[in-house]
Every structure is written in structure tokens, then in C-alpha cells.
Amino acid sequence: MTIDWNNLGFEYIKTPYRFLAKWTDGAWNKGELTEDNTLHISESSPALHYGQQCFEGLKAYGRKDGGINLFRVDENSKRMNRSAQRLRMPQVPQEMFIQAVKDVVKANREFVPPYGTGATLYVRPLLIGVGDTIGVHPADEFIFTVFCMPVGPYFKGGLTPTNFIVSDYDRAAPNGTGAAKVGGNYAASLLPGEEAHEKNFSDCIYLDPETHTKIEEVGSANFFGITKDNEFITPKSPSILPSITKYSLLHLAEHTLGLKAIEGDVYLNDLDKFVEAGACGTAAVISPIGGIQTHDDFHVFYSETEVGPVTKALYEELVGIQYGDRPAPEGWIFDVK
């Protein structure tokens, strides 16, 4: 297969190898790499009926020296175990998780996009409840699998700003599963996402499900804004996905760029205080937000066509670290040897 590294979208591509482990009788087997990209599971698997499943998303970065970096994969492992705990699934030991990711990346090495193409290898760990269980209770068998594919930018613009629209729908309930990376949250986001795309927006922005007055997060990324007073502000809420990129940016904003980094409320009627805004996540990286459509207003931040200077500086710092071009805070980079 020849791949045009510079023109990849965010689409499924079947790569040769994936890792698969099974949990039966209360324990994981040691798992193995397989070439089969289909799962053979019971029709009554709780993952299919009751959404007993969770997943992760991270990337492998092809370095200038030909090596491969993973970014904060230990945090993905911790978050998957928190999601698993919320949905009554077994923990995947961190060592097994990280080794599986490394093994899959190594086995599919030829699909890691070369440095300088702007593309990455997206890695998808997935944990599902399977077996013959029809009542609404947890499965007693599980599958943990990790597969990967080369991807390009998630939002079409890359570092060119795109526009977003505030949604009337909620993706999660105040004390529900919004903080867990579980399929149900994404099922709930399909219709709002499609409606946003039909109106030519990149994605929708969800408001807090309790009062609908505060920005919660973007469909598949967290939100941040930069104020005129050099503050980096990102919403704090129990119903958003705790983005690893967001926590990394909070750190870099404060320690590298000298901004004041704040997790707090972002009121929809107070957007004027932001001179720049963006969406951040593994897939989104940092995608500048040109404007946000609310019910009665189209609010432009920095510009609809150009990325703002702080967003650009954050992007360069984050991506520089991920590709190994800039020094990383301790423990952020994992070398796939």
C-alpha cells in the first residue's frame, strides 16, 4: 500500500497488526499480536447492548532521527482504568497497556508517518465487555485490543482557524459519565455533530448540562481561551473528558510561556474577555477557533483566518515536545525502541 503522508485525513486504515488480550475467569491472558482485524463476540455481549466499553486515543510521532515517540501514554492508561472502573470493567495493568501500545507501533513501524509530513500514527486502545450476558449487569468476559492507523489533521483547517456552534444538546449528565471515555458519550454526540457539520461548522460546543450558561467542551476536544491579561483559561467541570493535552497545555502555558494557567468557569456571556480561543486534544492537537455561533451572536476571537500568537506559540511548544524537537518535562515522552 502506498500512502500519501501529506494528504491523510482522519480515517480508518487497516494496518497489519493489532494486540488482543482476553479476560476470562477473573484474569487477563497474556495477549498477542494478530493480523485479524475482526472481533468474533457473542451476540449478547454487554458492550453491544449496554455500552459496557471504553477506549483511548493517543499518537506515535516519527522523530527527525528516525525514532518514534509516544506522548504521556501512562496518562492514557490511568484514564482508561478510571473509565473501566466507572463502567465496572477490569483494570488493565499499566505495564500491559504500555507494552501493548509499543508492540503495536513497532509491528506497524512502516505505517508511522515520517517526520515533517505533519501526519502521525493514531493508536486506539479499546476495552469491551463480551460473553453471554443478557441482564443489565457487568460482563464476566472482556477483550482489550489496541490497533493503529496513520492519520492527518482532525479538523480540516489544521492551524487555520475554523468555526464552531453552540449545541442545545447535552453529551453527558452532571453526575453521569462525561469524564469517562466511553462510547455512550460519543453516541450522544453524533446527531449534534452532524447538525453542526450540516451548517458548515467544524463541530459543536457543549454547554454545562446543569445551567447551559458555561462552555463545557468541544465535541472531541477540550476548550481553552487566552485573555488580554495573559491568562490561559480552560473549563473545569466533572462532566468533561479530562484531556491529557489540556493538562499538558496548562503546564506549558504557565512554565514555558509565563501565562497564568487557570481551570475555571467560561461563561458564554463573557466571551469578550478572550482574545484567542482553541480546541485541544490528541486528535485536534491545537485547533484555533475562529468564531463561535451562539443563538443570537457570532463571536469572533482573534481572527477567522489567522491563528493568534499565543495559540501558535503553544502549538509549537506542544508539537515540538511530541516530536522530540524541544525538551520535554520529565516523564512526558516514551521512546518506542
Ligand X SMILES: Cc1ncc(COP(=O)(O)O)c(C=O)c1O
Instruction: Work out the number of other CB atoms within 10 angstroms of the CB of residue 232.
Output: 25
- Give the nearer residue to ligand X in terms of CB position, either 244 or 336: 244
Where are the extended beta strands (E) located within the chain? Answer: 18-24, 27-28, 32-34, 53-55, 58-62, 68-71, 120-130, 141-151, 162-166, 203-207, 215-218, 222-227, 231-235, 260-264, 274-281, 285-293, 298-300, 333-335
C-alpha span between 85 and 83 (Å, rounded): 5
**Burial bucket for residue 299 (CB in 10 Å: 0-12, 13-18, 19+):** middle
- Give the nearer residue to ligand X in terms of CB position, either 133 or 311: 311
C-alpha span between 299 and 38 (Å, rounded): 45
Q: Which stretch binds ligand X (CB under 6 A): 159-167, 227-235, 243-251, 316-324?
A: 243-251
120 part of the interface to ligand X, by CB under 6 A: no
Considering only 5, 57, 106, 326, the residue that binds ligand X (CB under 6 A) is: 57
253 part of the interface to ligand X, by CB under 6 A: no
Q: Which of residues 272-331 bind ligand X (CB under 6 A)?
A: 281-283
Cβ atoms 143, 39 nearer than 8 A: yes
Q: How far is the CB of 75 from ligand X (least distance, A)?
A: 7
Asked about 64 being catalytic, the answer comes back as no
Which residue's C-beta sits nearest to ligand X? 281
Q: Which of residues 26-45 bind ligand X (CB under 6 A)?
A: none
- Give the nearer residue to ligand X in terms of CB position, either 70 or 139: 70
Q: How far is the CB of 43 from ligand X (least distance, A)?
A: 28
> Which one of the listed residues 59, 102, 181, 246 is annotated catalytic?
181
Contact residues for ligand X, defined by CB under 6 A:
57, 217, 220-222, 241, 243-246, 281-283
Annotated catalytic residues are 181
